[in-house]
Amino acid sequence: MGRTNDLPVLRSLEELGSLVRRYPDLFVRWSRGPRTDLGAPGSKDELTGVRMPGLSANPLAVEPWWEDRPVELWVARRLHDYSHLPRDKGPGVRPWVLRGQVEGRGPDNEPLVREIRPVGWVDERVIADAQAEVDRQEGTWGPLRRNAQDGDAEMNGDAGMGDGSEDARADDL
């Protein structure tokens, strides 16, 4: 690990994977960093402006169903899912890893984390390596992204998309 702004820099998927194996309470947050974020009482819902009871972050902990697959691939996918945020949110937004406790869930079902302990910045090279790792997989997958112009979500993969059958109606429930 190198150091930037008093925070270590994680320089490889292997290094980040090693941390994920050791600490189950790791999250990644895409923002301008702990100096900016830790002064806020929590994230704010962009749609309503409501202040939430923690910072929105994405868990890095490997789910049990992943079984013995490579942790580095898991981490690559978690990083890749939100790799569009620096382009969408503007200059200075980049990923950093933190430890903390989940206080609740945000409107996109993301964990809201409190008691935050910054761990390190994620180097740009790790994001490039994550992209390359995702590209090597057989399936197609892109980052989760909301279209800022019309509010529609753009998502690749099959998360929440069903099996192609007709949508359920309220009368059917």
Who wins on pLDDT, 86 or 159? 86
Residue with tokens 């382009």: 87
Confirm whether 97 is domain-assigned.
Answer: yes
Query: Over 50: is that where the pLDDT of 25 sits?
Result: yes
- Mean pLDDT computed over every residue of the chain: 83
Pairing of the two strands 111-122 and 58-59: unpaired
Confirm whether 164 is domain-assigned.
Answer: no
**Number of domains comprising the chain:** 1
Residue with tokens 């923690």: 54
Confirm whether 170 is domain-assigned.
Answer: no
- The DSSP secondary structure of the chain, one letter per residue, reads -EEETTEEEE--HHHHHHHHHH-TTEEEEEES-HHHHTTSSS-B-TTT-PBPSSEE-EE-PPPGGGTTS-HHHHHHHHHHHTTTHHHHH-TT-EEEEEEEEEEEE-TTS-EEEEEEEEEEEEPHHHHHHHHHHHHTSSS-----EE-TTT--EE--SSTT-TTSSPPP-GGG-
Query: Which residue range is the domain that position 30 belongs to?
Result: 2-153
Confirm whether 149 is domain-assigned.
Answer: yes
Confirm whether 14 is domain-assigned.
Answer: yes
Instruction: Express as a percent the part of the chain with pLDDT over 90.
Output: 65
Confirm whether 161 is domain-assigned.
Answer: no
Confirm whether 29 is domain-assigned.
Answer: yes
Confirm whether 165 is domain-assigned.
Answer: no
Q: What is the pLDDT of residues 48-85, one digit of tens each?
A: 999 999 999 999 999 999 999 999 999 999 999 888 88
- Window from 3-7, 27-31, 127-131 with minimum mean pLDDT: 3-7
pTM over 0.85: no
